[in-house]
Structures are given as structure tokens and as C-alpha cells.
Structure 1
Amino acid sequence: MDKHFTVKQIGVICADEGGFRIEIAPEYRDSLVGLDGFFYINILWWFSGCDNEQDRSVLSETKPYTKGPDTLGTFATRSPQRPNPIALSCAYVTYIDVSHGIVGLAYIDANDQSPVLDMKPYTPSLDRVEEPEVPAWCRHWPNNVETSGEFDWESEFNF
């Protein structure tokens, strides 16, 4: 079952005084053509700060959420400590500059210089669940990304 895959970094996340954006490597900039018009994108990126043997061996978290169970398996969390430190974020696109390879974002929950692996347009027909069901301990979380920014996330996490 142990297979190895080659993953190529297509760009980098910038989170600095200039705001949030993705800078796409020159050889991938043509991939941005046609992305304009999609106001949200799904971004696959690498939790590069957790790419070490210790963080990759974490399979459970002790009380990661203040209102959650005492122990959760890694796959039941959004923790960066996981067998493969791959992250998925849905972000609002503020602008696209194809010639310079820049995708502006309103916000992304990634550190500056995090490697970007891929981007896909958010499409409601494939990405939206009308009535998602979640465990009772997190049912009070916002129902959508638009209201998520106003939520007090700091009081929800223990990490």
C-alpha cells in the first residue's frame, strides 16, 4: 500500500503587509486563464511548518476544540499535524492578474510562504452541501464562509 507520489509546488501563499495572495510560478500562469468569474476557489496547500517526522506521526489530538470530545483522530480535525500535511482552504478571490501570476484573496488561514499545490474553482454543484450534518459539539459554528469571519474562532481551538 505504500506508494510515493510526486507533487509539484505551483506557487506560494503570501500573507504580509500587502494582504493575502497567491503568487503562481511562471510556468503555471497560463493555468489561471478562465479563473476570473469564480469568486471562490479551493486551495490545496502544504503545512510546511509541520513537515517533519514528529508532526507526521500524530494520529490523534487531545481536546483540540474547547467544546469537543477529549480525543479526536487526526482525520476528524483541521490540525496541521497529520500523516501528509496537506491543507484545504476555500477563499474569496479579490482579483486575478494572469500576466503576473497573482491571485488576490480576502483571507486564507495559511502562513506566509506556505507552498501551494493546486487550486480549483469552487462550484456549488460539486462543493456545496445544502444540509451538512456535523457532530453536536461543533453545530454552533457558522454555516458558511461568509459569516465565518465574524465568529470567535479563538475561543474554539486549544491549539
Structure 2
Amino acid sequence: MFEKREGEAALLADPAGLAPDGHVVFIGRIRSAWATRETCPKNMRQAREKGGEATIEIDEPYRPGLLGLAEVTHVVVLTWLDRASRNLIVQKPRHAEKAKGVFALRSPIRPNPVGLHIARLISLDMDEGRLVLDAIDVLDGTPVIDLKPYIARVDAFADAEFE
């Protein structure tokens, strides 16, 4: 699907064609302003800089699971990046000097294209299953696989670094 860059390596078998090991259920969809990969922000910082709220629409059977979520200020959103390739195991991002293994990158191209997003929860309508977020860095229509409360005293690491 994508042209490999120097230093990149592909898997022998594309994970998208393998038998599943588990059963992932989509609980809803993201509604965002991002229609194409070219316009979609590369990360949450860029999404906030570009502006524009995003919405999560939770399917009716899963709406009772939203009970208590209105008590938090931020949510962790896990998405299934359904339009990403899954076969590169070593990648060389355009901005990087050297290639890295997929598990050292935040690229959506990975064996299991799970996206991790931490967003401010602006509002929640349990009856409609609608969460309004300050921003999101995924394409419109991206499936949601889970939501979790972000708890700063547990989830934040002041000494975390990345070069």
C-alpha cells in the first residue's frame, strides 16, 4: 500500500490476513473534521493546534458503560486505525534520521493498529451516547474499541523521557 523507505522492513505475512487471536468489538465511532490522511494531525498536540472539537458516538448497547465517566476531565480513547497498513515492522519516519522498530514509534502502521489518545472531555450525553472531546488525531469514522478514565495521579510520569 505504501512505498517502503530505505531501512524499512516488512513482515512476511500481513497481519490483516491472519486468523484472529481474539475478538475486538467496536463500541462506537469517532466523528472528526479529518477526512484524509493528508489533513489529519499526526498527534494530539497538532490536533489541538489545528482546533476543532471531535465527537465519539457510542453504540446503544454500550451506553450504560458510560455511567460515572462524566466525573472525569480527561478520557483515554482506544481506537482501531482501520485504514492503516499493518505489515511494516521497521519504519523510517520522514522526520527521522534512522529507522526504528514499530514498537519504538507512534506510527499507525503496526501489526495491530490500535490508537491511543488522551483527550479532554468537554461534555457527555449518556442517552445519545455522545462524548464531545477537545480534539482528536484520527480520521472521521474511525472505530472506537474502548474508553477509560485518565487519572493523572496514576497515569502521569513526571520523569518520562523520549529522545
TM-score bracket for this pair, using the shorter chain length: 0.7 to 0.9
Amino acid at match of 2:99: T
TM-score by length of 1: 0.75
Q: 1:34 is matched with which residue?
A: 68
User: Aligned partners of 1:83, 1:3: CA distance in 2, in Å?
Assistant: 12
8 Å CA contact retained: 2:74, 2:150: yes
Secondary structure class of the residue paired with 2:64: helix
Q: 1:9 aligns with which of 12, 26, 46?
A: 26
2: CA distance, partners of 1:3 / 1:101: 29
**Superposition pairs for residues 7-156 of structure 1, below 5 Å?**
7-16=24-33, 19-50=53-84, 55-62=85-92, 64=93, 66=95, 68-135=96-163
Distance (Å, rounded) in 1 between the aligned partners of 2:56 and 2:89 = 30
- Rounded to whole Å, the distance in 1 between the matches of 2:72 and 2:53 is 20
CA distance in 1 between counterparts of 2:146 and 2:154 reads 17
| 1:69 CA drift (Å) | 3.6
CA-CA distance at 1:3 after TM superposition: 6.8
Displacement over 4 Å in runs of 4+:
none
| Structure 2 unaligned spans of 5+ | 1-18, 35-51
* Post-superposition CA distance 1:64-119 (Å, at most 9, x none): 152x3411111111111100011100011110000100000010101100000000
The residue matched to 1:59 in structure 2 has which SS?
A: strand
User: Structure 2: how far apart are the matches of 1:49 and 1:134?
Assistant: 27
Identity of aligned residues (%): 34
Q: What are the ranges of 5 or more consecutive residues in structure 1 without an aligned counterpart?
A: 136-159
Give, in whole Å, the separation in 1 of the partners of 2:104 and 2:124. 33
TM-score, length-scaled by structure 2? 0.73
Query: Which residue number corresponds to residue 153 of structure 1?
Result: none
Which structure would you say has the larger RCO, counting Cα contacts within 8 Å and 6 or more residues apart?
2
For 2:48, the equivalent position in structure 1 comes to none
Identify which range, 123-132 or 86-95, moves more after superposition: 123-132
Matched letter for residue 34 of structure 1: G
